[in-house]
Each structure stands twice: as structure tokens, then as C-alpha cells.
Amino acid sequence: MLLNCLYIIIGVALVLAGADRLTEGASSIARRFGVPEIVIGLTIVACGTSMPEFFVSLMSALNGTPDMAVGNVVGSNIMNAMLIVGCSAVVAPMVISPSTVKKDIPFSVAASLLLILLGVDSAIGRWDGGILLVGFAAFMAYTLWQAKGAKTEQTAESKPQNIWLSVLWIVLGLAGLVFGSDLFVDSASSVAAGLGVSESVIGLTIVAGGTSLPELATSVVAARKGQSAIAIGNVIGSNVFNILLILGATAVISPLQMEGITLLDMGVMMGSITLVWLFSFTRFTVERWEGVLLIAGYLGYLGWLLSNV
């Protein structure tokens, strides 16, 4: 048991380091070919921070633990909306732009609703996965279309990174993601079996918490620096990527059965992002007391999960 816990920690470290190296290498190559910073942020960096969820969910599905794959995404989205937004708002009230409230957050709410509708039969098949991927393509097309009219600023690097070093980072990053996520999933499954805890609960808690560390760190640091737009954008983008891209791609590769993920779990996921949306309507700000309420809600949900083990 202790050895498996150590493997979980090592797996998380490898996954996070791999995502960081992959993002840095891909971003450097994109800059070298003149790709605008905003496009890099909306695509490569956004995908990079979602790579831990993707590889952990994919390995879970391929290893025959689909509940952990779906639980990882559902749990990550709940953690993003309640714990991460809550902690960020407690650090500094989050000012949210009207366009984000009116256009971006509703897309995240719609993605959550789509997942609930597709998962009513407790399964996400290949056709369902295809629908999710079409939704992701629409989201990216809409986001990039919006970005065309935005003012872009190219941040010049004093010394462009060597192309071969960038390629090396990408290779090492992918290796860390694949090996780390496989180690993480196997160890988490062993811990679940040893404690008699279902794979769905492990996915909703331990796995979701481990793969959401990049979003937590990014959002809290951004809030502390007064960059609340980055903090809320990170959460919204991550939630949409998790549902539409990660579950969509995973389901197309390996259809998912999710008997251990209840409608209550799905409802909390939907309710959490909807609550953030409602809070943001009040002067387009998520206040500190609203952040405390979100954190309390997350701890309450976590307590309910553990009490029903």
C-alpha cells in the first residue's frame, strides 16, 4: 500500500513535468514559425495543461477502468469550478469581463449539459465521442474567430530556443505523460482495491486532484498577481477541453461505461459551473465570500463522497 502511494506521487510528478516540458517545447517551435502568441495560448498551452487529464483518462480506459476515466474529468471539472475558483477569489476578488460572462462561461455550461444528456444511458460510445469532438471543433473555431479581432502582442524571446532542444522537450514530455499516467492509474487502482473504494470515487477525488494541480497553481498565482481574466479563463478552457476533447477522444478510442458515476456527480459538475456563472453576474465579480461558499460546497461534496464509501 505504501509503495503504491509512493508510485502515485511519482506518477503525478512525471505527468505534471511532462505536460510542462511538452507545452514549452511546442510553444517554442510555434513561435519560431511565427504563430501569434494568442493562438499559442488558446491551443498549445490550453492543450498542454489538459494533457494530464487526457493521458490519465486514456490509460484508465485502455486498462479497463472506465469509471476512473470519466471520474477524472467530472471530478476535475468540479474541482476547477468550486475549489480553484473559490481559492482564487479568496486570494483576490475575480473581475470577469462581460464577454466572458455572456459568451465563454455559457459554452462550459452547455458542454456539461451535453455530457449529461449523452451519459444518461451510463455509457459514452464512439458516436457520443464523435459528437463531443465536433463540439470541441466548434468551440475552437469560435475562439479563434474571436481572437482574430483581438489585439495581439508578440513577446520577443531574447534567445530563441534551439529547435532540437524544443523537439527533445516534446519527446521527453510525451514520455513523462505516458509513463507517469500509466504508473499513476495502476497505483491508484491498486489503492482502490486495497481499501475497498470504488474506482469512480478514486477518479473523482485522488485522480482528479492530481491532474488538476496545473490549473490550481496557474489560477491562484494569476489571481494573486491581479490577472483574474487568466484565472477564470484557465478554468473555463480546462472544463471545456476536459469534456469535449478528452472524453470525446477517449470514447472514440475506447467506448466508456460509467456505472459508478451517478447523476448526482454529473449534477454537481453542472451546478458548480452554473453557480460560478450566476456569481459572475453580480457586478461581473466573484467576491471573497462567494469564493468561501464555493470552497465549502466542494468540501461538502467531498465529505459526502467519502461518507458513502
Determine the Cα–Cα distance for residues 258 and 201; give it in Å rounded to an integer: 12
pLDDT, position 115: 94
Residue with cell 495502476: 186
Structural contact between residues 86 and 105, judged by C-beta atoms closer than 8 angstroms: no
- Reference 228, options 109, 33, 90; nearest CA is 90
All three cell numbers of 96: 470577469
Single-letter amino acid, residue 246: I
**DSSP codes, 58-121:** HHHHHTT-HHHHHHHHHHHHHIIIIIIHHHHHHHS-EE--HHIIIIIHHHHHHHHHHHHHHTTT
pLDDT, position 44: 64
Single-letter amino acid, residue 226: G
Determine the Cα–Cα distance for residues 245 and 129; give it in Å rounded to an integer: 9
Please name the helix (run of DSSP H) or strand (run of DSSP E) that holds residue 268, with its range, or none. helix 263-280
CA angle 206, 208, 135 (to 5 degrees): 160
Taking only the tens of pLDDT, the chain with its 309 residues reads 788 888 878 877 887 777 677 767 776 776 777 665 545 555 666 666 677 778 888 888 888 878 888 888 999 899 989 998 999 899 888 888 777 788 778 988 999 999 999 998 888 999 999 999 999 999 888 877 766 655 444 444 445 567 888 888 878 877 877 777 778 777 877 877 787 777 788 788 877 877 777 667 767 777 777 767 666 776 887 888 899 999 999 999 888 888 788 888 999 999 999 999 999 887 788 889 999 999 999 999 989 988 876
Count of residues for the chain? 309
Cβ neighbours of residue 121 under 8 Å, at least 6 residues apart?
none
